[in-house]
Amino acid sequence: MRPYKIHKVQALLPNDRVRRRAYCRWLLDQQQRAPGFIEHVIWTDESTFTRNGMWNRRNAHVWSDVNPYATQETGHQTRWSVNVWAGVLNGKILGPVFLPQRLNGSAYLNFINGRLDDMLDNVSLAEYRRAWFQHDGAPPHVTRPVRERLTELFNERWIGRLGPHAWPARSPDLTPLDFFLWGYVKERVFDRECDSADEMRGRIVSVFNKLREECVEDPTLMPRVHESTQRRARLCIEMDGAQFEPNLIRSQRI
């Protein structure tokens, strides 16, 4: 017998598997009909960075010839958090954009009409005509004014709950923001403790800039991320819509 790690995966509801499978088939069909489709989706997400950061005690070790009795402070009485939006389009990293801590439909609509609209102004007309917009089913995303505004900007070219093309709920494993970008950013932001929200915002901006530099230094980085999106969609179909990430890790080792 050998010890094996348990992989945390998103819990699914009974009907989720059907929706995940249907979405993945649609995504791969679009990619086949129009090669480069996945690269021209504006993949987006929000994530909250808290003072406690992220820390896996099972994987945290201090190497020493004597026990240093190392500790890690947590459970601070003074708490704060930073809410961040980011996106991926083709080889470009969009953001970060700092959103209100309590995001609602009105604040999200203001973001779309402000910062997102500004970012779209920097996209060429040819690329904009091919671009799709994706977001998940968070409550601020599904208010009527938000959905109407996205339809004005992208016509039927957007993916989301109650949108022209439905995003399957509870599917962080299918978007590059969750399986790539947030992990990259948080690992570097939380490599040491932040003493204030302003310090954390500065560090987040610095990490995003570093990632952009890496994309320039390694032009294969983002194409590999988009290829992983396709690979995950194919594996989701093979698994009949179930959680697939442990199988993905195994296939990468073969």
User: Is 163 exposed, middle or buried (CB count within 10 Å of its CB: 0-12, 13-18, 19+)?
Assistant: buried
Domain boundaries, the chain: 21-48+78-249
User: Is 98 exposed, middle or buried (CB count within 10 Å of its CB: 0-12, 13-18, 19+)?
Assistant: middle
Residue type, 59: N
Average pLDDT taken over every residue of the chain: 88
Which of the four pLDDT bands, split at 50, 70 and 90, describes residue 12? very high
Which of the four pLDDT bands, split at 50, 70 and 90, describes residue 193? confident
Residues 6+ apart with CB under 8 A from 124: none
Q: In this structure, what are the phi and psi dihedrals at residue 205, rounded to the nearest 5 degrees?
A: -60, -40
Q: What is the mean pLDDT of residues 68-78?
A: 50
What's domain 21-48+78-249's superfamily in CATH? Ribonuclease H-like superfamily/Ribonuclease H (3.30.420.10)
Q: What is the mean pLDDT of residues 60-89?
A: 65
119-150 pLDDT, tens per residue?
A: 999 999 999 999 999 999 999 999 999 999 99
Q: Nearest 5 degrees, angle CA 239-CA 244-CA 248? A: 115
Say what the pTM is. Answer: 0.87
pLDDT for 77 beyond 80: no
